[in-house]
Amino acid sequence: MVTVITAFFRKMIPELSNPSVCMKDPQRVQKVLQSIAEAGANKLQVISDFDMTLTRFSYNGKRCPTCHNILDNSRAISSECKQKLADLLKTYYPIEIDTSLSVEEKLPLMVEWWTKAHDLLVEQKVRKDQLAEAVHESEARLRDGYEFFFNHLHKHDVPLLIFSAGIGDILEEVIRHFNVFLSNVKIFSNYMDFDESGTLRAFKGELIHVYNKREGALLNTGHFQELRTRPNVLLLGDSIGDLNMADGVQDMQNILKIGFLNDKVEERKQTYLDSYDIVLVKDETMDVPNAIVLYLTGNK
Residues annotated catalytic, as ranges: 49, 51
* 75 lies in the same domain as 32: no
* 208 lies in the same domain as 260: yes
**Structural domain range at position 222:** 7-55+142-296
The Cα angle at residue 223 between residues 119 and 227, in degrees rounded to 5: 145
* 30 lies in the same domain as 176: yes
Where among 89, 109, 136 does a domain terminate?
136
pLDDT value at position 211? 78
* 184 lies in the same domain as 284: yes
* 38 lies in the same domain as 93: no
pLDDT value at position 300? 79
5 to each of 2, 235, 277, 279, 291, how far by Cα in Å? 5, 22, 14, 17, 16
Where among 101, 116, 136 does a domain terminate?
136
Predicted confidence (pLDDT) per residue in 169-214, tens digit: 999 999 999 999 999 999 989 999 999 999 999 999 888 887 777 6
* CB atoms closer than 10 angstroms to residue 105: 11
* 94 lies in the same domain as 26: no
* 292 lies in the same domain as 194: yes
Whether 8 has a pLDDT exceeding 60, the answer reads yes
> Considering the domain boundaries, does residue 153 fall inside one?
yes
pLDDT value at position 152? 98
Q: Is 0.95 surpassed by the pTM of this model? A: no
* 86 lies in the same domain as 153: no
Predicted confidence (pLDDT) per residue in 74-99, tens digit: 999 999 999 999 999 999 989 988 88
If pLDDT is split at 50, 70 and 90, which confidence band does 3 have? very low
**How many folded domains does the chain comprise?**
2
> Considering the domain boundaries, does residue 2 fall inside one?
no
Where among 106, 136, 166 does a domain terminate?
136
* 125 lies in the same domain as 159: no
Instruction: Look up the CATH number of the domain holding residue 92.
Output: 1.10.150.340
> Considering the domain boundaries, does residue 101 fall inside one?
yes
Query: What is the spatial distance between Cα 13 and Cα 25, in angstroms, rounded to a whole number?
Result: 16
Rounded to 10°, the helix 146-155/287-296 angle is 20
* 116 lies in the same domain as 259: no
Paired sense of beta strands 192-194 and 200-203, if any: antiparallel
* 69 lies in the same domain as 131: yes
